[in-house]
Amino acid sequence: MTDPNTVQLTEDGRLKHFLTTEGLSRELLTEILDTADSFISTQERAVKTVPLLRGKTVVNLFFENSTRTRSTFELAAKRLSADILNLDIARSATSKGETLMDTLWNLEAMYSDMFVVRHSDSGAAHFIAEQVTPNVAIINAGDGRHAHPTQAMLDMLTIRRHKGDIEGKIVAIVGDILHSRVARSQIHALRTLGAAEVRVIGPGTLLPSDIESMGAVPYYDMRAGLADCDVVIMLRLQKERMQNALLPSEGEFFKLYGLTKEKLAFAKPDAIVMHPGPINRGVEIESAVADGDQSVILNQVSYGIAVRMAVMAMAMSGQQTPVNSEEPA
């Protein structure tokens, strides 16, 4: 697989596809956040749509189920005034023996402008970006254990809006790091945007062996890992990706690594709590924390629409300057 940035960027460094946060410049990640910020105010208006993608066709290609991600991408596209096609993979021609490329070529022949791709295989979005015609933009909505860049960027926006800035902050990511594409994308984005320290907390069986080479510091104890943290990001146990018994039990995991009010007290008093969802209450987080004053989990969902609007608009237009989000459709 070629360097993703030779695929996802134009020759002059603008966003063409959005496949991964890895290797993107601080300036470009900041541009995505600034553009998303400009869309947040539009979500509070009576008329929430802007005409930036009017006449464009966006196809949601979800080979993996995800109600939240698919819904926010659909809303983002609609609020940009695009036409939406949700392809039901389970009933599509690919389930009848048609190859992936045949499906893509047929969608291209319908003059589609953007594919939002979610796939269980790592590198699937990158592969599709290399194969499609130059006028089709690819947005990675999650590929295997590799990357989930829009989730990472909505998390960055959440931190920036609630903590003022990412630079200098200590961030802890807790739980199943090994199977998490979200964690990988978060780590790359946090390091690029100047986080003082990125910590990953969990049992050794759920931490990648190369985690330190990614720029994160491993911790195996919640008390030590959460000490002086500004941000705590909880992750669910991805049992669907576990091939072996990596944990004794969910109860044991919650006892050691589940976020309770008592464990949260190890972090800074004004630390915020995040979770990309879906939440498994009583497994990685207790309800008192998920619904508590320090939780910004629902804010993440709201910011997700703005971030996906920003990425889609930038990929389609190829522009780096903030888009004008004030003109109503």
Residue 23 assigned to a binding site: no
Tell me the C-alpha distance between 268 and 229, whole Å.
Answer: 6
Tell me the C-alpha distance between 147 and 287, whole Å.
Answer: 28
Residue 99 assigned to a binding site: no
Over its C-alpha atoms, the chain yields an Rg (Å, rounded) of: 19
Closest listed residue to residue 280, CA positions, set 305, 300, 251, 244: 251
Query: Residues 297, 72, 42, 195: what is their CA dihedral angle, to the nearest 10 degrees?
Result: 50
Query: Exposed (0-12), middle (13-18) or buried (19+): which is 11, by Cβ within 10 Å?
Result: exposed
Closest listed residue to residue 235, CA positions, set 288, 181, 272, 197: 181
Residue 243 assigned to a binding site: no
Structure-token pair, residue 29: 């990640």
The terminus-to-terminus CA distance of the chain in angstroms comes to 40
Residue with tokens 């983002």: 76
Residue 321 assigned to a binding site: no
Residue 146 assigned to a binding site: no
Residue 69 assigned to a binding site: yes
Residue 199 assigned to a binding site: no
Residue 161 assigned to a binding site: no
Residue 151 assigned to a binding site: yes
Residue 96 assigned to a binding site: yes
Tell me the C-alpha distance between 61 and 104, whole Å.
Answer: 10
Which residues are documented as binding site for carbamoyl phosphate?
A: 68-69, 118, 148, 151, 277-278
Which residues are documented as binding site?
A: 68-69, 96, 118, 148, 151, 181, 236, 277-278
Which residues are documented as binding site for L-aspartate?
A: 96, 181, 236
